[in-house]
Structure 1
Amino acid sequence: MAESSRNRSSGLAFAVASALAFGGSGPAARPLLDAGLDPLHVTWLRVAGAALLLLPVAVRHHRTLRARPVLLLAYGMFPMAGVQACYFAAIARIPVGVALLIEFLGPVLVLLWTRVVRHVPVSRRAALGVVVAVAGLGCLVEVWAGIRLDAVGLLLALGAAVGQAAYFLLSDTARDDVDPLAVISYGALVAAALMSLFARPWTLPWRTLADTLPVTGVDVPALALVVWLALVSTAVAYATGVAAVRRLSPVVAGAVAYLEVVTSILLAWLLLGEALSPAQITGAVAVVVGAFLAQTSVPSAPEPAPVPPVPPSPPRPVEDTAV
């Protein structure tokens, strides 16, 4: 039980760290977007920067590429490139809040996959946590404001949700036989190659990266924001996320990941001055409650049954060897 408790505690810590790292991407990307960079360019800089930073790790784990090529290719295609490409294509057709809400249905898809396909029972507490977190997310993004339905946009947002679900399921599939950094490094390389087809980095205004951009009244080098996106909001975020799934479960880690949206909105409020409405505050509380319900549903491993003491053998009779 002590080992299970340690795994649950460390898994929760990794999940929260991953959500915080992912949540910091919005406030870091916003000044770059305000400076005129296209969202696809910012996304490409994020994954390509992570791939460059993790290139030595990929070289070190070259055996993993031969041992698990399908896993690494799938990780780069779906969680890292697929989510970004589908999400940015979706927000060109439907409101950002609706697209974000649909994307974060990923943990719900994980729950359904776990129950229907894998036939693994899901605790009521975990299911309730996901439902509460989804409801809170709807309040956070104020999904009721200015909804405009577009069939293609909704399908693209659902594609982002599928990619997010694949992130948790593939991380669970890797387990302990693959180093998380190997998965992230090769995933970033694959994602950077795929995103190059959409972002066309040769059209990126590279001069902007040499400027300083205002963040809460302080001029910050644009390149420092790119490094933050690549190192913290991508490499660290994905690595800690994989570690969290290994210690918890895809369902629980997915629910805790809703803290990413709370972190992003709170940081936007603190760093960018974007005020929170009462509905968003209520939604933030609901997301935290939902994540707490889900993570506390992790069952503790049963204590091993005590081994009954072995009764001492009866003394052997001493044979009379006298002649």
Structure 2
Amino acid sequence: MPMPTSVSSRNSCGKGAALTLALGSALAFGGSGVAAKPLIEAGLDPLHVVWLRVAGAALVMLPLAVRHRALLRRRPALLAGFGLLAVAGVQACYFAAISRIPVGVALLVEYLAPALVLGWVRFVQRRPVTRAAALGVVLAVGGLACVVEVWSGLGFDAVGLLLALGAACCQVGYFVLSDQGGDSGADAPDPLGVIAYGLLIGAAVLTVVARPWTMEWAVLGRAAQLDGTAVPAFALLAWIVLIATVVAYVTGVVSIRRLSPQVAGVVACLEAVIATVLAWVLLGEHLSAPQIVGGAVVLVGAFIAQSSTPAKGSAEPVAAGAPERELSARGTAA
């Protein structure tokens, strides 16, 4: 006779599974830059790698787009914002940045997004923010100064740093757009549907910008160098499309619905840690001790900024570790 299972036990198992999915999502997202950089160094343009990633993922997610086709009529602005900013803008700027600067540095610069969102809320919308949130911004900016080694006159390519900052700004643009048009109750859009249409819209935009018909397709049939180790370029592309995009988005959305915002914020910050460690091990991109300390400060500041309770009497500012997590959090709250 089977033993009865308590509600608390089932909830504990559910949260444990959700945490496992969230960690898997962070690992998948963190591995995108490590897999993309060898393709860029093998001869592919960063925009072409982005197009391959987004178009491939859009094709896989096409059945979900058909299932949620009503979103085209109900939420065209949100779909356009997600496609243009959270998909095309963020990925294009990030992949262009890692072609010039280390993967870990690019992702840490991108983690200025929560701080930039709070700056928008405070100085543009003129809404108050908490002292803890302001402290998070100060920590993130100070930590970033260590990461880019400002005392040595910016130890990295300035254009690469600007591109990484552009990725952060694209995230901010999506946060602001989503905050302006948030739904509630039964009208909240399904996050997976928004992701599917965001990928389709992003692929359409990138097709015009990247012009994939000019791509050197022969590179995909050759081997790329992963810190001196030959790896089939097609295998790296398959990882980027299937694991670092489709699996990462879906597991992130599923897990976030069962986790608290604080736990989700910690897991989101692990993405930058995972990316930095993978780049260190697989690409040989070593960071100095001050950069490691600065990176930890950036993540602490980003977590404080995104998880702080807004000041009393103010509308809650939108600030999250990544656009897909902010979107799914909205669906969970609804």
Structure 2 counterparts to residues 1-323 of structure 1, below 5 A? 19-86=26-93, 103-115=110-122, 121-147=128-154, 159-170=166-177, 173=182, 177-215=188-226, 219-239=230-250, 244=256, 257-291=268-302, 293-294=304-305, 297=308
Contact 1:248 1:298 (8 Å CA) reproduced: no
Q: Is the 8 A contact 2:265 2:303 kept in 1?
A: no
Query: Tell me, which stretches of 5 or more residues in structure 2 are unaligned?
Result: 1-7, 311-334
**SS of equivalent residue, structure 2 residue 119:** helix
Q: In the TM superposition, what whole-angstrom CA distance separates every residue of 1:163-202 from its partner, at most 9, and x where no partner exists? A: 1113444566366721111111111111111111221101
Q: Which amino acid aligns with 2:218?
A: R
Kept in 2: contact 1:210–1:223 (CA 8 A): yes
| TM-score, reference length from structure 2 | 0.69
Percent identity over the alignment? 58
Counterparts of 1:291 and 1:82, CA distance in 2: 21
SS at match of 1:62: coil
CA distance in 2, matches of 1:146, 1:294: 28
TM-score (norm 1): 0.71
- Larger CA deviation: 206-215 vs 33-42: 206-215
| Contact persistence 2:58–2:196 (CA under 8 A) | yes
Task: Determine if contact 1:71/1:170 at 8 Å carries over to the other structure.
Answer: yes
TM-superposed CA distance for 1:112, in Å, is 2.8
Distance 1:119 1:32, change over 3 A: same
What secondary structure sits across from 1:220 in the alignment? strand
Residue type of the alignment partner of 2:273:
V
Q: Do the aligned partners of residues 139 and 153 (structure 1) sit closer, same or farther apart at CA in structure 2, a change above 3 Å counting?
A: closer
1:269 partner amino acid? W
CA 1:50–1:72 in structure 2 vs 1: closer, same or farther (change >3 Å)? same
- The Cα of 1:253 is off from its aligned counterpart by 7.0
Does the CA-based 8 Å contact 2:115-2:302 persist in structure 1?
no
Cα distance change of structure 1 residues 22 and 90 upon mapping to structure 2, 3 Å threshold: closer
Name the residue aligned to 2:327: none
Shift of 1:27: 0.8
**How far apart are residue 49 of structure 1 and its match?**
1.4
| Structure 1: segments with no counterpart, 5+ residues | 300-323
- Mapped to 1, the partners of 2:165 and 2:121 lie a distance apart of 18
Which residue is 1:303 aligned to? Answer: none
CA distance in 2 between partners of 1:246 and 1:128 (Å):
28
SS in 2 for 1:36: coil
1:205 Cα offset (Å): 1.5
RMSD over equivalenced CA pairs, Å: 4.4
